[in-house]
Amino acid sequence: MDFASIRIITADIDALTQFYELVTGIAATRPAPVFAEFRTTSGTLAIATPATVAMLGDRAPRPGSNTSVIIEFLVTDVDAEFDRIRAALTDIVLEPTTMPWGNRSTMFRDPDGNVVNIFSRPSV
């Protein structure tokens, strides 16, 4: 088995896609108006509208209701990335900080309220 992706269900696919294009620096692939994805070498972040999970009925994920998942991106320089996107962030959870285990990390919320962590590992 190989990890493939995480999909965020959103009511505003255009806004969330634009946000992650800024954060990742990657242009989204949009194979359909209801779906976007960001492919990296280690996995894919997918963004989709509720129409993509409508067949699940009452069991479908609800947009903007995540309170338990953190979306994480590994970068070389947390501080430089934070400075690059700071003006677009409306909810900063954690300013760039060195964690007790050595990672340098910053956390913020995306437009749907999902927590995003940009981090780097300690130099060895």
**Which pair of tokens denotes residue 121?**
């590992």
Q: For each of the chain's 124 residues, which pLDDT tens digit applies?
A: 888 999 999 999 999 999 999 999 999 999 999 999 999 999 999 999 999 999 999 999 999 998 899 999 999 999 999 999 999 999 999 999 999 999 999 999 999 999 999 999 998 7
Fold of 1-54: 3.30.720
**Which pair of tokens denotes residue 55?**
């067949």
Look-up: residue for tokens 């300013």?
Answer: 95
pTM of the predicted model, to two decimals? 0.92
Kindly state which CATH superfamily the domain 69-124 is placed in.
2,3-Dihydroxybiphenyl 1,2-Dioxygenase, domain 1 (3.10.180.10)
Domain boundaries, the chain: 1-54, 69-124
Look-up: residue for tokens 């910053």?
Answer: 106
d(CA 79, CA 58): 42
